[in-house]
Amino acid sequence: MLREIVLDTETTGTDAKNGDRLIEIGCVELINHVQTGKVFHKLVNPTRPVSQGAFAVHGISDAMLADKPLFADIVDEFRDFCGDSPLVIHNAPFDVGFLNMEYARLGAAAPPPIDLADVVDTLQLARRKHTGAANNLDALCSRYGIDTTRRTKHGALLDAQILAEVYVELLGGKQTSLGLAMTEVEAVVVIGDGGEAVPVGPRQLRHRLSETERARHATFIATLGGGAVWSDYLGGEETA
Dihedrals φ, ψ of 190, to 5°?
-120, 160
pLDDT number for residue 33? 96
Strand partners for 163: none
Is 154 marked active-site?
yes
Q: Which of 33, 154, 207, 217 is catalytic?
A: 154
pLDDT number for residue 238? 38
Strands 197-200 and 188-191: antiparallel
pLDDT number for residue 51? 96
pLDDT number for residue 147? 87
Q: How far apart are CA 185 and CA 18, in angstroms?
A: 43
Structural domains present in the chain: 3-172 (3.30.420.10), 209-240 (no CATH)
Question: Taking the complete model, does pTM exceed 0.75, yes or no?
Answer: no
pLDDT number for residue 149? 79
pLDDT number for residue 173? 76
Q: State which residues of the chain have pLDDT below 70.
A: 151-153, 174-214, 217-218, 220-240
Q: At what angle do helices 92-104 and 71-82 cross, to 10 degrees?
A: 130
